[in-house]
Structure 1
Amino acid sequence: MDIKEKVLEVLNNSEEPLKGGQIAEVSGIDKKEIDKAIKELKKEEKIISPKRCFYSINK
């Protein structure tokens, strides 16, 4: 499973928006890698940022 899929999985399982650091903590992946994946996922419009620095799945 690649990092973007892992980020989506963590966000999908969460009931509320998460920060990049929280996603890194839950997934066990380095925060820098998570930040890169978040940037790509936002560009692909797969995730949204309901408030600054928090992310959730774009439903």
Structure 2
Amino acid sequence: MKDQVLNAMRNAGKPVCPGDVAKTLGVDGKDVSKAIKSLREDGLVTSPKRCFYEPA
């Protein structure tokens, strides 16, 4: 799931919210949020503004 979320963020080319990623992947938003939390802890994702994320 983490790889899918990261790839979707890269393909978007701009900061995205978890809901947009969930729609793109066709999965539940809670799963995307969990993956983003894990990616942030690993330093692979940053948050330029509240509730929006992009690859680091």
Flag whether TM exceeds 0.5 (same fold). Answer: yes
- Superposition TM-score, scaled by structure 1 size: 0.91
Aligned residue among 42, 53, 56 for 1:55? 53
% identity of equivalent residues: 39
More helix by share: 2
- Superposed CA RMSD in Å reads 0.5
**Residue 29 of structure 1: how far off its partner (Å):** 1.2
- Superposition TM-score, scaled by structure 2 size: 0.96
The ranges of structure 1 where at least 4 consecutive aligned residues each deviate by more than 6 angstroms after the TM superposition are none
Q: Provide the aligned length of Structure 1 versus Structure 2.
A: 56
Rounded to whole Å, the distance in 2 between the matches of 1:30 and 1:47 is 19
